[in-house]
């Protein structure tokens, strides 16, 4: 199971990187086409979709790599059981919020598909297609947070609290 979960997080991270390259390509295409005097419709919209996809798909991978910004003002001062309780509480609240975000992301995809929502730009993209990336990203984030909660509960979680290079 551990190998599968790690592969899931890595896969989501790689997919996020793919969409970051997509943002770059859309921006370059937009700039290049403007300089050439050619109109390519939808490049701004597709760059935005790719950026949103990259952001949501990177959430779980970033969490599992210990790169999310954490406010350790309180947790950093705690030791032993109080720290563990605070970590479990934080992970449980995070899981709850990620679960709500996940449910409402998929609900948005469903409603956009049901009502045939399309973008208002010149690309007229059905909005449920880029919204799928948000649903996938929040689903993998929820799995990652539940995974972290279980690992903390078992005492197997590797914390990155000593590493304060980003704080």
pLDDT tens, residue by residue, 35-67? 999 988 889 999 999 999 999 999 999 999 988
| Contact assessment for residue 121 and residue 45, using Cβ atoms and an 8 Å cutoff | yes
How many angstroms separate the CA atoms of 1 and 103, rounded? Answer: 24
Whole-model pTM? 0.87
| Contact assessment for residue 55 and residue 140, using Cβ atoms and an 8 Å cutoff | no
Overall average pLDDT of the 150-166 stretch: 70
Beta bridge partners, 118, equal 126
Q: Is the pLDDT of residue 120 over 80?
A: yes
Q: Give the model's confidence band at 160: pLDDT under 50 very low, under 70 low, under 90 confident, else very high.
A: low
Share of the chain above pLDDT 90, in %: 72
pLDDT value at residue 72: 76
Overall average pLDDT of the 108-128 stretch: 93
Q: Which of 51, 59, 52, 48 is nearest to 13 (CA)?
A: 59
């Amino acid at each position: 199971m551990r190998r599968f979960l790690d592969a899931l997080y890595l896969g989501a991270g790689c997919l996020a990187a793919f969409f970051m390259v997509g943002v770059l390509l859309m921006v370059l295409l937009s700039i290049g086409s403007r300089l050439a005097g050619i109109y390519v419709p939808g490049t701004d919209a597709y760059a935005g979709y790719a950026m949103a996809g990259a952001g949501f798909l990177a959430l779980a991978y970033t969490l599992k790599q210990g790169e999310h910004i954490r406010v350790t003002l309180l947790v950093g001062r705690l030791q032993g059981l109080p720290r563990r309780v605070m970590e479990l509480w934080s992970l449980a609240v995070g899981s709850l919020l990620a679960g709500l975000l996940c449910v409402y992301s998929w609900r948005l995809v469903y409603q956009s598909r049901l009502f045939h929502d399309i973008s208002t730009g010149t690309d007229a993209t059905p909005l449920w297609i880029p919204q799928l990336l948000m649903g996938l990203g929040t689903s993998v984030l929820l799995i990652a947070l539940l995974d972290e909660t279980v690992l903390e509960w078992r005492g197997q979680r590797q914390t990155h609290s000593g590493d304060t290079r980003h704080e």
